[in-house]
Amino acid sequence: MSTNVILLGPPGAGKGTQAKVLVEQTSLAHVASGDLFRAALRDGTELGMLAKSYMDRGALVPDEVVINMILERIQAPDCAEGVVFDGFPRTKEQAVALEEALAKQQSSIDVVLYLGVPSDVLLRRIGGRQTCKTCGATYNRYYFPSHRPGICDACGGELYQRSDDTLETAQHRLDVYFGQTMPLIEYYQRQGILHEIDGQREIMWVTEMMLKALNQYLPTSA
């Protein structure tokens, strides 16, 4: 039996930050649609170029493209014990496609952890985010900067700002979230699997709440 969890929330809510900690503390794999697109772009693939044309505008990549990519990714051996989905699903069509694919493997989504954070806080977090080009570690200019400006504490790699983290694009990403992704909150609420966590609180507190909510679905205690 596998354990599958969705991290749902607006851009900047802390999904990526929390997913990294959750997979360190469990046997689950981290499947992040945005990271997969950015990796495809770094590799210079057609998928990467296509995704970039949407990401740079803060628009959603078409459902069919995202769904195919994710359903292929979850066939990998590291997903056998379950997955932390980060940034997917983002539309009802994606949610249904995931459910159907998991059902074919006699599996399902166990819990959806929804991180609520107000828009002004999100825009500040996104504007301050810096990511390591080498290891992917995330920092924040306002909340927890790296010790040496522009240099990753963990590996010495160069920090960069995502091209979709400008104020204008971030604002559009939020609008897209409110229009296209927020309906999933009610969708999962109706299924009785939505668990809300205050994403405004400090990172360690949020992790603790997530592990508490997830614990009952894990084969062994996290």
Binding status of residue 13 toward ligand AP5 by CB under 6 A = yes
Active-site residue (options: 20, 42, 57, 129): 129
Residue 57 annotated in active site: no
Residue 104 annotated in active site: no
Residue 148 annotated in active site: no
In whole angstroms, give the CA distance from residue 137 to residue 154.
8
Q: Which of residues 157-176 bind ligand AP5 (CB under 6 A)?
A: 164, 173
The response to whether 28 counts as a known ligand-binding position is no
Q: Which span (42-50, 55-63, 100-108, 188-196) binds ligand AP5, by CB under 6 A?
A: 55-63
Q: Whose Cβ is closer to ligand AP5: residue 31's or residue 111's?
A: 31
> Could you say which of 4, 29, 87, 113 contacts ligand AP5 (CB under 6 A)?
87
Active-site residue (options: 52, 73, 141, 162): 162
Residue 90 annotated in active site: yes
Q: Give the catalytic positions in this structure.
A: 15, 90, 129, 162, 173
Q: Which residues are annotated as a binding site for AMP?
A: 33, 38, 59-61, 87-90, 94, 162, 173
